[in-house]
Amino acid sequence: MTKKDSFGEAWTRLTEWLAVMAPESLAAVRPAVAREDLPPELSELYAHCDGALPTEAGRFLVSGCGLLGRDEALALRARLVSLVDGPDVEADWWRLDWVPWAANHDGASCLFVDTGPGPGRGSVGYFFKETGGEAQLWPSLTAFLVALVDAVEAGTPFFGETPVVHGEGLGWD
């Protein structure tokens, strides 16, 4: 449990915890796929899994979000980009260089990585369709995953929600 965890170490911590405490959520994780055409941390995520099944157990991230497969992520990104009809919408709602990697069941909220230039590059933010995106909540996908795993292991709040196991799946209240 250190901030120096690599993505792989944090992923291992998460899957080991899920195996014992929420095996249904672990079973929802799809096999890994090679994805070198994405930013490094997203490629690393897909090297560990190609998202999770769109089931209750598969939505084990905060705010009811489940890991998106690469194709699902790109489809959601394209859908959101199609709704941007000018610079004001892009500045205040969804930015064209954000790439979603986890979403709730209908894509109305998602976690994204900022792939744009500048100091926020690689940071993780949260998007809600009604209000738009909040960028740079975590400095990286690794930082997000480490914070999530720390909360799950300790049973403490993360992003305003507390981890709970429902049946054999991880959820958040």
The radius of gyration computed from the CA coordinates of the chain, to the nearest angstrom, equals: 15
Q: How many residues does the chain have?
A: 173
* C-alpha 90, offset from chain centre: 21
* C-alpha 115, offset from chain centre: 14
pLDDT in tens, the chain (173 residues): 444 689 999 999 999 999 999 999 999 999 998 767 788 889 999 999 999 999 999 999 999 999 999 999 999 999 999 988 887 777 778 999 999 999 998 888 999 999 999 889 999 999 999 898 999 999 999 999 999 999 999 999 999 999 999 999 999 99
What is this structure's pTM? 0.92
Q: What is the pLDDT of residue 2?
A: 46
Q: What is the distance between the alpha carbons of residues 104 and 141, in angstroms, rounded to a whole number?
A: 18
Q: What is the distance between the alpha carbons of residues 167 and 163, in angstroms, rounded to a whole number?
A: 13
Q: What is the distance between the alpha carbons of residues 45 and 51, in angstroms, rounded to a whole number?
A: 9
Q: What is the pLDDT of residue 40?
A: 86
Backbone angles phi, psi at 73, to 5 degrees: -65, -45
